[in-house]
């Protein structure tokens, strides 16, 4: 089964009276269990593809499937439901709520669905332990390092058992040692069967993926299969 599929997807923006063609008929499939890095120069279409895969924007033409759901024609309400329940987001800036504890931050997607119960609390606790934060459940983001905050974000991204984790420059704010730790964690999640789609401009980060799609001028320029040790 596919975690995501783009079929002849285009995206155009109108800026200052001109049409900007950000994506130009992109075809792409992401099988379940894949670890895909999307790379390319600034302006190549990486951010546009991330926004479309994350249901944060709509294509101009073409079709997007997430799992078995055709999300192309969904209204805003149903797109927000897909974002909340079927996509796990990991951002460069972590996007944690400063007033909440580690455990509460992991539970945020469940809170918005009204699903905070004993079972949800148990799952969130297990995820915190899985990312190495079982002893810090009551800590707040200001009491954590950058790497620990990103671990919270990764645990939060998993709490709804999503189709895939969509990671946007997840190590951009981290030092080299912490970057390797976070990439090791993503490797482990993928080895356990999690589908990961990573948007990055860093060669070291992209090299961890099973395959890399390079974008150029809104098109797929080439695909590289990685042979990881």
Does residue 93 have a pLDDT over 80? yes
Could you give the angle at which helices 118-130 and 102-111 cross, rounded to 10 degrees? 130
Among 56, 24, 39, 80, CA closest to 218: 24
Mean pLDDT, residues 100-104 taken together: 96
Mean pLDDT, residues 2-12 taken together: 97
CA-based end-to-end distance of the chain: 26
What is the band of 228 on the pLDDT scale with cuts at 50, 70, 90?
A: low
d(CA 179, CA 205): 8
Does residue 4 have a pLDDT over 80? yes
3-state secondary structure of 102: helix
Does a structural domain hold residue 143? yes
Between 124 and 118, name the one with better pLDDT.
Answer: 124
Written as six digits, the tokens of 101 are: 């504890």
Q: Give me the CATH number covering residue 126.
A: 3.40.50.300
pLDDT single digits (tens) 153-168 = 999 999 998 999 999 9
Does a structural domain hold residue 219? yes
pLDDT of residue 58: 94
Does a structural domain hold residue 137? yes
pLDDT of residue 1: 87
Does a structural domain hold residue 12? no
Does a structural domain hold residue 26? no
Among 212, 204, 139, 144, CA closest to 171: 204
Is-contact 38 46, C-beta < 8 A? yes
Does residue 83 have a pLDDT over 70? yes
**Number of neighbouring beta carbons within 10 Å of residue 211:** 14
Mean pLDDT, residues 200-205 taken together: 90
Domain count, the chain: 1
Written as six digits, the tokens of 207 are: 């090299």
Mean pLDDT, residues 95-107 taken together: 95
Task: Kindly give the residue spans of alpha helices, DSSP state H, lying in 68-192.
Answer: 76-86, 102-111, 118-130, 146-158, 176-191
pLDDT single digits (tens) 189-202 = 999 999 999 999 99
């Amino acid at each position: 089964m596919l975690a995501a599929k783009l079929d002849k997807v285009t995206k155009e923006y109108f800026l200052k009276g001109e049409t900007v063609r950000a994506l130009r008929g992109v075809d792409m499939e992401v099988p379940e269990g894949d670890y895909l890095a999307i790379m390319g120069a600034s302006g190549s279409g990486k951010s546009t593809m991330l926004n479309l895969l994350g249901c944060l924007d709509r294509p101009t033409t073409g079709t997007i499937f997430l799992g078995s759901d055709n999300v192309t024609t969904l209204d805003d309400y149903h797109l927000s439901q897909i974002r909340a329940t079927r996509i796990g987001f990991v951002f460069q800036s972590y996007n944690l709520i400063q007033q909440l504890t580690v455990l509460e931050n992991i539970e945020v997607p469940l809170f918005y669905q009204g699903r905070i119960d004993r079972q949800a609390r148990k799952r969130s606790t297990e995820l915190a332990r899985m990312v190495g934060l079982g002893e810090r459940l009551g800590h707040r983001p200001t009491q954590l390092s950058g790497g620990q905050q990103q671990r919270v974000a990764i645990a939060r991204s998993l709490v709804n058992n999503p189709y895939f984790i969509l990671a946007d420059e997840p190590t951009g704010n981290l030092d080299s040692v912490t970057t390797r730790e976070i990439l090791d964690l993503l490797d482990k999640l993928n080895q356990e069967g999690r589908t990961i789609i990573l948007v990055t401009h860093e060669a070291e980060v992209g090299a961890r993926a099973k395959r890399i799609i390079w974008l150029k001028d809104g098109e797929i320029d080439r695909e590289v299969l990685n042979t990881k040790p």
